[in-house]
């Protein structure tokens, strides 16, 4: 049995005292050129000049030989808790069994080396930290060697390191024994990193360091935070986005045993109680009259019609070459198609929550967040504090998928507002219904494409109109990501498609629609819709030209070796072209996102309208695979996440309200629907890409292309649902 | 005052008897290994054993547990099957975000207690009530088979 987590001042002091006498590594390295997200090509003045970050603290060595690695990024399942320590351990020659891991605090020291804020997203952690964490390890090793050289009176050059020891002939001194002396040495100005051929840790499948605590129930998520005096709050929010409280009656709520307070906050009415059950019952007893505001008429079907009418005309140009209009007018054959994708909720398993304690000139926040900087700033603004007066404790995230990286800091701001209004420490907890209906969805999109085909069956002209909401509009990223009215994330995977590069005439445009529905990046962001559309269209073209979909892609991707490497490996492992059991068909798709190239082959059968995905074969070229097993896990994960969305998930609106509420009607992947998954890694020395998201984009088109092969029916709207029934 | 047997210990709780077991465990006993995911028996994150049977603690009031034994993730290593399941989870390196895994392990332990040689169909039937948004399903399946082999 485990004791409850009791986060008190005393615990913190004790924790700090443990490392007194040890070595805390603080150092600076030049920061990479800043850009905000992949795809944002140019640096703008707003980000400031590239400059040295404040001294960073990435690891400390205790006199007990433990090596504690501080993570600048958040662990949300992607295994960064293991991958970043691997980078340090490699260069430090550390004893892996002595590695401990902690989330770092919110601090300028931990700004993303490329994005300039503290954020976990964009499938960027490993490549963006590859140098910084290795350097931290190498620098620490150099200090330890320096301390040993002094102690033994031998030249540093005569010493070597291995498995947590500095070694001189037969003499071994443990890192813990050297830590105090090493801490007094001057920090080296430069370090040399190992030659990749000498790597022992990087590239080796390594088990998760957070495995044991997640298996025995002791891992602490935001939801598990507890300390004396912490109340639980639930907020009654407007049933329609943008609505507000007209009046409320809390008399029945206050009768509920355990309810302590009812307070109004900007987002609604908060019921503050001794525990979740009391807060929930209290909220159910609450009577609120809402002014539903301007969005009370929201209706998904009407919105789709509106999108459709907009798509009849070109939008703002995102990419253009040649004269597509003239070429289309004289093309032998035209392919015209409309594709549509719904709003999607992230619905991580851990419902949103945030604990806040406000004191004079200070605020402490405990939560699972992907975006500490904006959360810290938002809390500081609400409380009239400086950001550094707000301490953020990042706990394990019970899934993120983008939902816990909100530029609007919605769940953190609301918790701060509740704690401020109630005057007591508060943990706000969202119910599943709150999560499903609380917004920040993957936007709905509609695409209209018109493609002119040449005599060989290849596209000669390509016109595509995309309609949807902008994710970046109104966020701090707007200045970087929206150029000439075009949000790069709305058209990523289209405007920069490798297929278009083979076509002499194309015109890609965008209508950005404004609705009252809050939207946000959802695992793989714009690629979550663009890959489905592009890979379906290519499949349509291949079938129209009576060519094998694999060969057709190979022909178009001639100048794109990384696409081809993934495509060929997936096809080979799936034995593309070989007969399958009766009733089973294959579909293929390949897509680049976040610097990685992923191809997938789906094996699918359709029986009386029911789609069954039997097997997914996946190949990825992400450059160096630091931890091949966690890379495989991320592919499995993306396939599951993508399949659930492709098959069943959708958020719809009627009379302003979200029509889904929980996992009985917001349908996600379950064990019985999960196919066999095989992951193959392209041995690659190309530039490193990400792995958290790139496995998702090809999933839906691989499956729907297989459905076409099986049935002749082209799925042009997601989710697949019962379209084949 | 309600007396519950939690992980072999008698505990007195001063809460109303309609409180779901989940919240008695988490908010009163501070046994936070059992997770809240949906509140309506749709996701399985809150799975515990009541007299050895898997139940969704988010919809089961504590009144239903009086006189019975509640076992949670915090005590499952003391069960032979639970121990094998946890070992297999480690061997296969199942977890990702980890939030659903307590429930998955409790459900898998119940499955293997009742069925020493589960087929894939048995696993589908027993485990499809437990959602994992990280998609660790293939590894859960592999770990259940591995645990079954070890227990055989």
Full set of structural domains in chain B with CATH = 2-75 (3.10.20.30), 76-151 (1.10.150.120)
Dihedral pair phi/psi, residue A485, rounded to 5°: 85, -5
CA distance A650 to A638: 17
Cα–Cα dist A498/A82, whole Å: 34
pLDDT at A53 over 60: no
Query: What's the burial of A198, exposed, middle or buried (CB within 10 Å: 0-12/13-18/19+)?
Result: exposed
ipTM for the assembly: 0.98
Which SS3 state, helix, strand or coil, does residue A394 take? strand
Average confidence (pLDDT) over A560-564: 98
Residues A64 and A175 sit within 8 Å (Cβ to Cβ): no
Contact A277 B123 (CB under 8 A): no
Q: What is the pLDDT of residue B12?
A: 97
Q: Are A88 and A58 in contact (CB under 8 A)?
A: yes
- One DSSP character per residue, A130-177 reads HHHHHHHHHHHHHHHHHHHHHHHTS-GGG-EEETTEEEETTEEEEHHH
Q: Where are the beta strands (DSSP E) in A322-361?
A: 333-341, 353-359
Contact B99/A at CB under 8 A: yes
Considering CB atoms only, which of B16, B30, B93 is closest to A208?
B93
Mean pLDDT of A394-411: 97
Q: What residues contact B115, with CB distance under 8 A and at least 6 apart? A: B122, B126
Q: Which candidate from B86, B98, B127 shows the least CB-CB separation from A219?
A: B98
pLDDT tens track for A642-662: 999 999 999 999 999 999 999
Classify the C-alpha dihedral A294-A296-A297-A303 as positive or negative: positive
So what's the pLDDT on residue A191?
85
Burial class (CB in 10 A: 0-12, 13-18, 19+), A175: buried
Q: A651 near A666, Cβ under 8 Å?
A: yes
Q: Kindly indicate the confidence band of residue A108, based on its pLDDT and cuts at 50, 70 and 90.
A: confident
Average pLDDT of A270-280?
A: 98
| Residues of chain B below pLDDT 50 | none
Closest chain A residue to B78 measured between Cα atoms?
A1
Question: Which residues of chain B lie closer than 8 angstroms to A399, CB-CB?
Answer: 97, 99, 133-134
Listed by number, the residues of chain B in 16-75 with a beta carbon closer than 8 Å to a beta carbon of chain A are 16, 19-20, 23, 26-28, 30-40, 42-43, 45, 72-75
Q: Is residue B127 within 8 angstroms of chain A, CB to CB? A: yes
Please check whether residue A214 touches B, CB under 8 A: yes
pLDDT band for A168, please (50, 70, 90 cuts).
very high
- B32–A232: do the CB atoms touch at under 8 Å? no
Q: What pLDDT does A379 receive?
A: 98
Q: Does residue A432 belong to the interface with chain B, where contact is any CB pair within 8 Å?
A: yes
Q: In this structure, how many other beta carbons lie within 10 angstroms of the beta carbon of residue B80?
A: 12
Segment A395-415 shows an average pLDDT of: 98
Pick the residue from chain A with its C-alpha nearest to B38.
A432
Nearest partner of A649 among A442, A367, A463, judged by Cα: A442
Q: Which of A100, A98, A101 is CA-nearest to residue A165? A: A98
Is pLDDT above 70 for A17?
A: no
Q: Are strands B69-71 and B2-6 parallel, antiparallel or unpaired?
A: parallel
Q: Residue A23's pLDDT band (boundaries 50, 70, 90)?
A: low
Q: Which of B16, B86, B135 sits opposite A669 (nearest CB)?
A: B135
CA distances to A8, A303, A345, A517, B74 from A297, rounded to whole Å, are 48, 10, 21, 12, 48
Between residues A193 and A1, the one the model is more confident about: A193
- Chain B residues near residue A649 by CB distance under 8 angstroms: none
A residues 245-304 near B, CB within 8 Å?
257, 274-277, 280
CB A527 within 8 Å of CB A503: no
Tokens 């160096």, residue located: A624
Q: Of B140, B137, B77, B135, nearest to B108 (Cα)?
A: B140
Tokens of A485: 């009215």
Partners of A429 on chain B (C-beta within 8 Å) are 36
Taking domain A9-215, whether its CATH number is 3.30.365.10 is answered by yes
Other Cβ atoms closer than 10 A to A698: 38
Instruction: Inform me whether the pLDDT recorded for A8 exceeds 80.
Output: no
Specify the pairing of strand A596-607 against strand A610-621.
antiparallel
Cα dihedral across residues A550, A552, A558, A560: positive or negative: negative
| A216-250 confidence digits (pLDDT tens) | 999 999 999 999 999 999 999 999 999 999 999 99
Contact check, Cβ <8 Å, A1/B131: no
A264, burial (CB in 10 Å: exposed 0-12, middle 13-18, buried 19+): middle
A677–B27 CB contact, under 8 Å: no
Taking an 8 Å cut-off on Cβ atoms, the answer to whether B139 and A232 are in contact is no
Asked whether residue A482 carries a pLDDT value surpassing 60, the answer given is: yes
Give the residue from chain A lying closest to B98, CA to CA. A214
- Nearest CA to CA, how far is B37 from chain A (Å)? 6
Buried b (16+ CB within 10 A) or exposed e, A524-563: bbbbbbbbbbbbbbbbbbbbebebebbebbbbbbeebebb
Distance, in Å, from the CA atom of A568 to the CA atom of A570, rounded to the nearest integer, reads 5
Residues 6+ apart with CB under 8 A from A197: none
pLDDT number for residue A12: 29
Looking at residue A188, what is its pLDDT?
82
Instruction: For domain A222-293+352-429, give the fold.
Output: Aldehyde Oxidoreductase; domain 4 (3.30.365)
pLDDT score at A677: 98
State the average pLDDT over residues A245-266. Answer: 98
Chain A CB within 8 Å of residue B83 CB = no
Could A350 and B35 be called an inter-chain contact, meaning their C-beta atoms sit closer than 8 Å?
A: yes
How far does the CA of residue A668 sit from the closest CA of chain B (Å)? 8
> Residue A264 is encoded by which pair of tokens?
């109004």
Using the Cβ of A674 and the Cβ atoms of chain B, whether some distance falls under 8 Å is answered with yes
| A128 beta partners | none
A210 interfaces chain B, CB cutoff of 8 Å = yes
For residue B142, what is the nearest residue in chain A, using CA coordinates?
A676
d(Cα A45, Cα A49) in Å, to the nearest integer?
7
A291: which 2 tokens?
A: 């002014």
What is the reported pLDDT for A184? 87
pLDDT for residue A535: 98
CB-CB under 8 Å, A640 with B132: yes
| Residues from chain A contacting residue B9 (CB–CB below 8 Å) | 1
d(CA B34, CA B48): 7
The residue among A544, A580, A564 whose CA lies nearest residue A621 is A564
Tally Cβ neighbours within 10 Å of residue A211: 22
Angle value at C-alpha A716, between A714 and A718, nearest 5 degrees: 120
Confidence grade of residue A574 (pLDDT, cut at 50, 70, 90): very high
Question: For the packed helices B80-92 and B101-114, what is the interaxial angle rounded to 10 degrees?
Answer: 130
Q: Are A633 and B32 in contact (CB < 8 Å)? A: no
CA A181, chain centre distance (Å): 41
* Predicted local distance difference test score (pLDDT) of residue A9: 31
User: Topology of domain A300-343+441-711, per CATH?
Assistant: Aldehyde Oxidoreductase; domain 4 (3.30.365)
Q: Which residues of chain A lie closer than 8 angstroms to B120, CB-CB? A: none
pLDDT tens digits for range A322-379: 999 999 999 989 999 999 999 999 999 999 999 999 999 999 999 999 999 999 999 9
Does this chain's domain A9-215 share its CATH topology with A222-293+352-429?
yes
With a cut of 50, say whether residue A633 has pLDDT above it: yes
Contact A105, A393 (CB under 8 A): yes
Query: Can you tell me the mean pLDDT for A104-118?
Result: 90
Note whether B124 contacts A: Cβ–Cβ < 8 A: yes
CA distances from A619 to A52, A570, A601, B77, B137 (A): 38, 5, 9, 37, 19
Residue A150 pLDDT more than 50?
yes
Q: How far apart, in Å, are the Cα atoms of A414 and each of A70, A365, A375, A382, A417? A: 28, 12, 11, 10, 5
- Sort strands A244-249 and A231-237 into parallel, antiparallel or unpaired: unpaired
Give A-chain residues touching B96 at CB under 8 angstroms: 77-79, 633, 637
Instruction: Tally Cβ neighbours within 10 Å of residue A189.
Output: 8
Tell me if A634 sits within 8 A of A620, measured CB to CB. no
Q: Would you place residue A109 in the very low, low, confident or very high pLDDT band (cuts 50, 70, 90)?
A: confident
Between residues A23 and A520, which one has the greater pLDDT?
A520
Q: What is the pLDDT of residue A155?
A: 97
Closest CA to A511 of A270, A303, A205, A226: A303
Please give the C-alpha separations between residue A113 and each of A85, A130, B86, B147, in angstroms, as whole numbers.
17, 10, 38, 43
Most A CBs within 10 Å: which of B38, B42, B131, as the mutation test of the A interface?
B38
Residues of B in contact with A207 (CB under 8 A): 90, 93
Whether residue A26 is predicted with pLDDT greater than 80 in this model: the reply is no
Contact between B97 and A397 using a beta-carbon 8 Å cutoff? yes
Omega of the bond prior to A350 within 30 degrees of 0, cis? Answer: no
CB B136 to CB A637 under 8 A? yes
The domain locations on chain A are 9-215, 222-293+352-429, 300-343+441-711
Cα–Cα distance for residue pair A416/A359, rounded to 1 Å: 12
**Cβ-based neighbour number of residue A378 at 10 Å:** 22
Structure confidence at residue A334 (pLDDT): 97
Say yes or no for a CB contact (<8 Å) between A396 and B96: no
Q: What is the mean pLDDT of residues A612-624?
A: 98
Whether A241 contacts A290, CB under 8 Å: no
User: Chain A residues with CB inside 8 Å of B109's CB?
Assistant: none
Which pLDDT does position A64 carry in this prediction? 92
pLDDT band, residue A3 (cuts 50/70/90):
very low
CB contact under 8 A, B93 and A215: no
Pairing of strands A67-71, A99-103: parallel
In this prediction, residues A592-596 reach a mean pLDDT of: 98
Q: How confident is the model at residue A48 (pLDDT cuts 50, 70, 90)?
A: very low
- The CB-side HSE value for A536 (13 A sphere, CA atoms) comes to 29
Per-residue confidence band for A41, with pLDDT thresholds at 50, 70 and 90: very low
Residue A281 has pLDDT above 80, yes or no: yes
pLDDT band for position A52 (cuts 50, 70, 90): very low
Using an 8 Å CB-CB cutoff, list chain A residues near B56. none
């Amino acid at each position: 049995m485990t004791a409850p987590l009791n986060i008190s001042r005393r615990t913190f002091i004790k924790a700090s005292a443990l490392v007194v006498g040890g070595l805390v590594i603080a150092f600076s390295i030049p920061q990479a050129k800043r850009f905000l997200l992949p795809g944002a090509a140019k640096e703008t003045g707003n980000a400031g000049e590239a400059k040295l970050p404040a001294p960073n603290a990435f690891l400390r060595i205790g006199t007990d030989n433990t090596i504690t690695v501080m993570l600048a990024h958040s662990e949300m399942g992607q295994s960064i808790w293991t991958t970043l320590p691997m980078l340090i351990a490699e260069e430090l020659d550390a004893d892996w069994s002595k590695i401990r891991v902690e989330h770092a605090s919110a601090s300028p020291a931990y700004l993303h080396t490329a994005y300039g804020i503290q954020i976990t997203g964009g499938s960027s952690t490993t490549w963006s930290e590859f140098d910084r964490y290795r350097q931290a390890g190498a620098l620490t090793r150099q200090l330890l060697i320096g301390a040993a050289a002094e102690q033994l009176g031998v030249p540093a050059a005569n010493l070597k390191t291995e498995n947590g020891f500095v070694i001189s002939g037969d003499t071994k001194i443990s890192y813990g024994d050297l830590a105090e002396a090493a801490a007094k040495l001057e920090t080296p100005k430069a370090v040399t990193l190992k030659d990749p051929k000498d790597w022992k840790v990087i590239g080796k499948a390594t088990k998760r360091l957070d495995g044991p605590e997640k298996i025995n129930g002791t891992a602490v998520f935001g939801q598990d935070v507890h300390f004396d005096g912490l109340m639980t709050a639930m907020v009654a929010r407007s049933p329609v986005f943008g609505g507000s409280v007209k009046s409320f009656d809390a008399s029945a709520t206050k009768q509920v045993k355990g309810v302590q307070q009812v307070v109004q906050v900007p987002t609604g009415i908060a019921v503050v109680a001794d525990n979740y059950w009391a807060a929930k019952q209290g909220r159910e007893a609450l009577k609120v009259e809402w002014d539903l505001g301007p969005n009370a008429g929201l209706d998904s079907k009407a919105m789709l019609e509106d999108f459709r009418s907009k798509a009849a005309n070109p939008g703002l140009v995102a990419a253009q070459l040649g004269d597509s209009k003239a070429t289309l007018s004289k093309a032998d054959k035209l392919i015209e198609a409309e594709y549509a994708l719904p709003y999607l909720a992230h619905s991580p398993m851990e419902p949103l929550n945030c604990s806040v304690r406000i004191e004079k000139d200070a605020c402490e926040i405990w939560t699972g967040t992907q975006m500490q900087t904006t959360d810290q700033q938002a809390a500081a603004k609400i409380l009239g504090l400086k950001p550094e007066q707000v301490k953020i404790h990042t706990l394990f995230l019970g899934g993120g998928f983008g939902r816990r990286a909100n530029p609007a800091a919605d769940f953190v701001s609301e918790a701060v507002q509740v704690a401020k209004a109630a005057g007591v420490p508060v943990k706000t907890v969202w119910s599943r219904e709150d999560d499903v209906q609380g917004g920040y969805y993957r936007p709905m999109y509609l695409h209209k494409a018109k493609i002119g085909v040449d005599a060989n069956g290849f596209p000669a002209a390509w016109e595509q109109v995309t309609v949807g909401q902008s994710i970046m509009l109104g966020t701090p990223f707007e200045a970087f990501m929206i150029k000439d009215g075009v949000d790069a994330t709305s058209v990523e995977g289209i405007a920069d498609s490798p297929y278009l590069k083979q076509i002499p005439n194309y015109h890609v445009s965008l209508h950005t629609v404004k609705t009252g529905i809050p939207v946000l990046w959802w695992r793989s962001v714009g690629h979550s819709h663009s890959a489905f559309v592009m890979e379906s269209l290519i499949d349509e073209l291949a079938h129209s030209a009576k060519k094998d979909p694999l060969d057709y892609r190979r022909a178009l991707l001639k100048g794109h070796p990384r696409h081809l490497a993934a495509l060929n490996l997936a096809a080979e492992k799936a034995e593309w072209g070989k007969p399958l059991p009766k009733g089973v068909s294959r579909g293929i798709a390949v897509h680049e996102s976040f610097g990685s190239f992923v191809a997938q082959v789906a094996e699918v059968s359709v029986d009386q309208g029911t789609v069954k995905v039997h097997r997914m074969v996946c190949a990825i070229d992400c450059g160096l695979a630091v931890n091949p097993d966690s890379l495989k896990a991320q592919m499995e994960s993306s396939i599951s996440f993508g399949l659930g969305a492709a098959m069943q998930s959708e958020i719809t609106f009627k009379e302003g309200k979200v029509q889904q509420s929980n996992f009985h009607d917001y349908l996600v992947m379950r064990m019985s629907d999960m196919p066999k998954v095989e992951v193959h890694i392209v041995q690659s020395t190309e530039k490193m890409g990400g792995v958290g998201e790139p496995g998702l984009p090809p999933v839906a088109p691989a499956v729907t292309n297989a459905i076409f092969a099986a049935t002749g029916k082209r799925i042009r709207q997601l989710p697949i649902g019962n379209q084949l029934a | 005052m309600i007396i519950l047997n939690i992980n072999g210990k008698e505990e007195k709780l001063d809460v109303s008897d309609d409180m779901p077991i989940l919240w008695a465990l988490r908010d009163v006993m501070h046994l936070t290994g059992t997770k809240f995911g949906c509140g309506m028996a749709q996701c399985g994150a809150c799975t515990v054993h009541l007299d050895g049977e898997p139940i969704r603690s988010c919809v089961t009031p504590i009144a239903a547990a009086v006189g019975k034994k509640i076992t949670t993730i915090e005590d499952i290593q003391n069960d032979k099957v639970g121990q094998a399941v946890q070992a297999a989870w480690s061997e296969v390196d199942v977890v990702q975000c980890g939030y659903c895994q307590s429930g998955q392990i409790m459900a898998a332990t119940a499955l293997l207690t009742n069925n020493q040689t589960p087929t894939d169909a048995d696993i589908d039937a027993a485990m499809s009530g437990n959602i994992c948004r990280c998609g660790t399903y293939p590894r859960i399946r592999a770990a259940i088979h591995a645990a079954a082999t070890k227990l055989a």
